[in-house]
Amino acid sequence: MNIQTIDMAGLDVSTSNETDGFGFKTCQEAVSIFHQFADGRKFDNALEWCCGPGYYGLGIWKTGLVRTVSFNDIAPEAEEVMRITFEDNNIDFPFYLSDNFDNIPKQKFDLIVGNPPHFNVNIPSEDNSIVGTHTYHDDRKMRDLDWEVHKKFYKQVGEYLTDDGSIMLMENWKGSSVETFKSMWEENGLELTKFYSSEDKESRNYYIEVRRNCAII
């Protein structure tokens, strides 16, 4: 694994091709949108799901949206780059090497952010499945076969989300729409509360906030 170090808002962040799912390119926009979604609220205990190099979690912590943040990824490569980032910046946050919440100790998060895999390999993309030098079909950090990662996340997240907690994610129009995830939310007592479509027409990213459905709490 070839590890590089980039400067992100004064932090030395380690990254690699194996871990960066284009998060650095979107981090500034994503963190700004998450602040807009929060509408002045500050959070206590956050988690970055599918963290890769940890851009989003570090970003919301550095900009004061959260007091503390934990990180989760299924890839050992992510654990390695996060360890280096923590050491280089003299910071200490929990990292959980885990398939969704399987290995995360029971606790409550009031904010969960993430840049999860955006593409179901059974659905060919409209631009021949090419993103840079990677194909959607061959890249683990971009691929969510039959949306199993998302389905498992939404099934498990209720055990870890505070009653007033928020889930804020970046998704991509090339791979999904709100309708893709609607049934997952409904089946698990969640609902879409905020939505923003990126002004960057090339990236075609969109952002969602999902919370517990207050009608069934």
Q: 130: number of CA atoms within 13 Å, CB side?
A: 4
The model's pTM is 0.90
Q: Within 10 A of 32 (CB to CB), how many other CB atoms are there? A: 14
Residue spans of the domains in the chain: they are: 20-119+145-216
* The pLDDT value given to residue 135: 45
CATH, domain range 20-119+145-216: 3.40.50.150
* The pLDDT value given to residue 21: 64
Per-residue pLDDT of the chain (217 residues), as tens digits, is 899 999 998 999 999 988 876 677 889 999 999 999 999 999 999 999 999 999 999 999 999 999 999 999 999 999 999 999 999 999 999 999 999 999 999 999 999 999 999 988 654 444 444 344 444 444 666 889 899 999 999 999 999 999 999 999 999 999 999 999 999 999 999 999 999 999 877 778 999 999 999 755 4
* The pLDDT value given to residue 137: 40
Helix (H, G, I), strand (E, B) or coil at 35: helix
* The pLDDT value given to residue 216: 55
Sign of the CA dihedral running 193, 155, 59, 41 = positive
